[in-house]
Amino acid sequence: MSAVIQANGLSKRYGRSVALDAVDLTIEPGRIVGLIGPNGAGKTTALKAILGLTEFDGRLSVLGLDPRRQRSELMKQVCFIADVAVLPRWIRVSEAVDFVAGVHPRFSREKCQAFLSHTKITPKMRVRELSKGMIVQLHLALVMAIDARLLVLDEPTLGLDILYRKAFYETLLNDYFDENKTIIVTTHQVEEIEHILTDLVFIRDGKIALAATMDEVGERYCEVMVNPDKADQARALGPINERQIFGKSIFLFDGVDRARLSALGDLHKPSVADLFVATMKGTYA
């Protein structure tokens, strides 16, 4: 199977500001990819390029198509959920379903109604009558009823409480995702998506800081909790980050032999959030 997304030298400038700086990236089919970065890192620009919503320099292929010249064909195979509601507040739920059924050839009305049947949303409700969580449920029902090969989620649970966020990702994983679909998700709540990701991409200042599978991340990075008497030995091995907790130091290492590290203290797999903080160190200075 060819790559779902293949970018080579992908670049984008806004005046003197560089949003994407010669990015090379490959995303294979059947993956759930977390695109993580601080504000202004280039995440949204990358998504816009993938969706054919902005011009760019370099080469970019999405599902074998050029988003700039073949966007109409591409959109038949791609779905997108943004961080803001895009449905008009006056529209009824039934009308929203009718609209998507009329414009998207891969939409299944039966699937959409099945998803909505597990919510408190009724066909006669207008969008303005729905809570934030219910609007997200409606968006998700509309999108999951489309047999899309690529789903792009840009901060899809922004502003939702933890119950809705958890339900959103469970539904996404259990009722939508399969080996023929690929999902790209951006979020600042990385700890909530860590368990569903197959791949991790960190972006910083328009450049890819890390691109690896979650298995590769687990093999490459390791945290060690070290007592004060062995802290200098740990520092001599060149950790990429150090933090203190309860009088002990926690060091994060990249590619250091675990046998050497185990002599210093207890080994742990770093969380995506801790790895992100270490990788982005200095970004917010």
Residues in the chain: 285
Domain boundaries, the chain: 5-205, 217-279
Nearest to 172 by CA among 185, 162, 161, 160: 185
How far from 275 is each of 43, 241, 264, CA to CA, in Å? 18, 9, 20
What the block records as the tokens of 188 is 């600042």
Tens of pLDDT, residue by residue, the chain (285 residues)? 589 999 999 999 998 899 999 999 999 999 999 999 988 889 999 999 999 999 999 999 999 999 999 998 998 899 888 766 678 889 999 999 999 999 888 899 999 998 898 889 999 999 999 988 888 888 888 988 988 899 998 888 777 778 878 887 888 888 778 888 899 999 888 888 888 999 999 999 999 999 999 999 999 999 999 999 999 999 999 999 999 888 889 999 999 999 999 999 899 999 999 999 888 875 543
5-205 carries CATH number 3.40.50.300:
yes
Q: Are 187 and 204 in contact (CB under 8 A)?
A: no
Q: How far is CA 157 from the centre of its chain?
A: 11
Nearest to 261 by CA among 229, 233, 220: 233
Question: What are the beta bridge partners of residue 243?
Answer: 250
* CA dist., res. 56 & res. 44, Å (int): 13
217-279 carries CATH number 3.30.70:
yes
| Structure-token match 């560089």, residue found | 18
